Amino acid sequence: MRPQPEKPIEARGKVLGGPRPLVCVPLVGKTRGEILAEAENIPAIAPDIIELRVDSWEFVEETAASVSMVRDVRNSVGDIPVILTCRGHWEGGFKKVSDEAKFALYREAAAGALVDFLDVELAYGDEKIRETLRMLEQTSVSLIVSFHDFEKTPSKEVLFSTLAAQIRAGAHVAKLAAMPRSEEDVLALLSATLMIRREYPDIPLITMSMGGIGAVSRVTGGLFGSDLTFAVGSKASAPGQIPVAALKQCLSVLHPRES
């Protein structure tokens, strides 16, 4: 059996940290029409979970319009869990979004039970992360604390310490993605994932090595303790993502009894 967290998170019938890693498809449309078209296609490709990348939205600075969009996506995808992400431009976001707009949308979406996870970068620091955790106290929404490096893969020790910092900051889920420059970088990420799973056994983890070299981590990461992997639905949100049907087939081979 693969390394699983002792405290998995259940959201709308899906278990993050169960026997089989979840498959997540990002929605990265820019306009209302593009986003709705992606959402309407979700039931057909049947991912375990979706990610709304609101940093791609043309209207993301308009809170009322953004909340309405999240509500429409929720109605379209039914009971599929939703990760709400507004990735900072300094970590690969599609564009610069003000913190005021980002966290206003987060607050409204969480309070209305429209989403199941919020993603906040570790770079915001402990105080902002604690503030977000307080915001979520009366909701069923879980916090993903994340770190992305699109230029390189830090050393195994730095990868480990970054994930540990996310957990110490109060993350319900720790997430890390890095760009490899060599095959050894991919091995370093997988090794750090297994190390953090053993050292901090409680919470779910999401880790991946990006790009072509790192694609193998999106298939095998679950064997080292990663509990979610990203696949391509309509359009990729990061380099190296695999089409959802192909990824599901690979996971069914690696996790046959849970497929």
Residue 4 is labelled as binding a ligand: no
Is 14 inside any structural domain? no
Is 65 inside any structural domain? yes
Task: Note the pTM of the prediction, 2 decimals.
Answer: 0.94
Domain range for 110 is 20-249
Gap between the Cα atoms of 214 and 99, Å rounded? 31
Residue 52 is labelled as binding a ligand: yes
Q: Which token pair is 63?
A: 């809170």
Q: What is the CATH number of the domain that holds 153?
A: 3.20.20.70
172 is an active site residue: no
Is 98 inside any structural domain? yes
How do beta strands 49-53 and 22-27 pair?
A: parallel
Is 55 inside any structural domain? yes
How do beta strands 173-178 and 142-149 pair?
A: parallel
Is 234 inside any structural domain? yes
Residue 223 is labelled as binding a ligand: no
Structural domain tally of the chain? 1
Is 6 inside any structural domain? no
Is 26 inside any structural domain? yes
Gap between the Cα atoms of 12 and 128, Å rounded? 27
Q: Can you spell out the DSSP letters for 130-164?
A: HHHHHHTTTSSPEEEEEEEESS----HHHHHHHHH
255 is an active site residue: no
Is 212 inside any structural domain? yes
The one-digit pLDDT tens for each residue of the chain (259 residues) are 899 999 999 999 999 999 999 999 999 999 999 999 999 999 999 999 999 999 999 999 999 999 999 999 999 999 999 999 999 999 989 999 999 999 999 999 999 999 999 999 999 999 999 999 999 999 999 999 999 999 999 999 999 999 999 999 999 999 999 999 999 999 999 999 999 999 999 999 999 999 999 999 999 999 999 999 999 865 555 556 778 888 988 888 988 764 4
